[in-house]
Each structure stands twice: as structure tokens, then as C-alpha cells.
Amino acid sequence: MFKSKARSAVVVVAALVPACAAAWLVWDATSGPDDPGRNGDLPQNVRPHRSAAASSGPSPAAPSSGAAKPLAGKVVVLDPGHNAQNSRHTAEINRLVDIGTARKECDTTGTATNAGYAEAAFTLDVSRRARALLEARGASVRFTYDGDRAYGPCIDERARIGNKAKADAVVSVHGDGSAAGNRGFHVILPAPVHRGIADTRAISGPSKLLGTALKRHFAAETGTRPSNYIGGGTGLDVRRDLGGLNLSTRPKVLIECGNMRDPKDAALMTSPAWRQRAAEGIADGISAFLEDRE
């Protein structure tokens, strides 16, 4: 009996060694040299990620066919802010469009880190990562823009895309361009607006619930704090001058994931590991909102 147990133990250990080695090789291959998480450089308040493989890739393992998909039947629209090609189409993006409370530029070029990492690249990457997570939970996810347009779309069209899809939730993903020293994220909510073609009265309440859930889960997943320069520490800001919110007829918010002009926030936002956490915070916030409304 003892010899039999010893032989079984040897077999188990022999099986585990190559499996562990293979897992390490997968992590080593998928972690990029620019990933601070790879070298333990992420700030201490950013908790370890639940999946090493996900730190550099936007496609987590999908649930098995028998697993519950809590977002089945739900439509989510993700709106990656700006477009990397906008700077080549200044005439088009400077065209004014009606947002109800005013007329504003079709779109802008967005901001960038001091080292040149563009907001448009950040928003598209985080949105794609969030899409993979939401689709794994059963949601139907649509984009306003997926790297497939010469410029834009304009802010009024971005709103119409969510409206036409009859989205259960819409989240516009951005990075802020404030002064150095201004840090943290904040979620912008639509004010109750009824002017011209804008009428957000029916969605301002649900949008606040969406924004509150998003704030809570984004903070928990990323380990970052609400903005120290907007929202009075609440992580929430209400505005009536953003066309993408004013023209929405579906629950919608805009998240500024951090300040790209601050060196500390920029170090996070250029990290693939942190962008995965940001995507998880967004996906978890959307999921919580939709599941609470069942």
C-alpha cells in the first residue's frame, strides 16, 4: 500500500511540473516588456490581477457552453473616444453639429501622454478588452467606432448609434488631458436636459445608476481613486454640454479613466496590465447595472 501511494505521488508531481512550466511560458510570452506589472512596478495600491494571461490580452476564456450568461439578451454599446486619424481631417471634425444646448465640433483629436501615447489608442484598446469580457457574459456588444473609419464619428452620430441599437447601457471611454498633479478617474453623467433636439429627462436617473455602479467597480478593479480635481472626490460629474450624452435616449455615461497628462496616471494607462483592469472595472460596472435592473 505504501509503495502504491508513493508511486502515485511521483506521477502527480511529474504531471504538475510541465504544467507549471507551460503556464510560466505562456505568461512570459504574453507579457510585454513595456508592462510595469511584469517587473512588479505597478503602484502598491493596484492589486494583483486575477489572471496573468489576461494582463496583456483582451480575450479572457469564455464560459463553457453550460455556464450561466447573466447578460444574455442585453445590448451594450461601447463608445471609444476620438479617432487616431482625426488630426488628418481637421475640416471634417471641426464642423459644428447641434447638441440641443449648443453647437459643438463634430469631434476632436483627443489628448495624449507626454510620451505620445494617444487617447484614441487607449480608448480603443480598453473598449476591445471590455467587449471580450461582456460578450463572455452573454451581452451583445456594439461599437460606435472600431478602428474602421477615416475620422469621427461625430458626437451626434455616436449618440444615434446607441439609440438605434436600443442599448440597455452605453459607456463612452476616454482619457482626460488635465494638468500634471491632477489624478484619478471620474464618470460624467448627463444632466436632465430638455432643450432643442436634446431630451435626457427619461435617462438621467438610470444613467446616474449606471455611473455609480461604474465608479464603484472601476475603483475596485484598478485600485485607483476618484479624481482629485473634478467631482469633489465623489468620482461623479454632471454635465449638459456633451453632445454624446445630450442626444442619447438610452442610459449613457462617459468615463475619464485617468489624466494622461499626469506622469503617474500616464504610467498606469500605458500599462497593458492596468488597461485590462480598467476594462474589467468597466465590464463589471455595466454588468452590475444591468443585473440590478432585472
Q: Which residues are catalytic?
A: 256
DSSP characters over 41-92: -S-TTSPPPS-TGGGG-S-PPPPPTTS--TTTT-EEEEEE-S-TTGGG-HHH
Question: Any residues with CB less than 8 A from the CB of 139 and at least 6 apart, and which?
Answer: 71, 72, 74, 75, 76, 286, 290
Question: CA 275 to CA 175: how far, in whole Å?
Answer: 12
Question: CA 47 to CA 38: how far, in whole Å?
Answer: 13
Q: Locate 239 and state its grid cell.
A: 454635465
Residue with cell 483627443: 110
Q: What are phi and psi of 185, to 5 degrees?
A: -105, 160
Q: 194-195 and 198-199 as β-strands: parallel, antiparallel, unpaired?
A: antiparallel
Does 263 sit behind a cis peptide bond, omega within 30 degrees of 0 on the bond before it? no
Question: CA 90 to CA 88: how far, in whole Å?
Answer: 6
Q: Locate 148 and state its grid cell.
A: 474602421
Asked if 285 and 215 touch (Cβ cutoff 8 Å), the reply is yes
DSSP characters over 153-194: --HHHHHHHHHHTT-SEEEEEEEE---TT---BEEEEE---E
Q: 169-176 and 96-98 as β-strands: parallel, antiparallel, unpaired?
A: unpaired
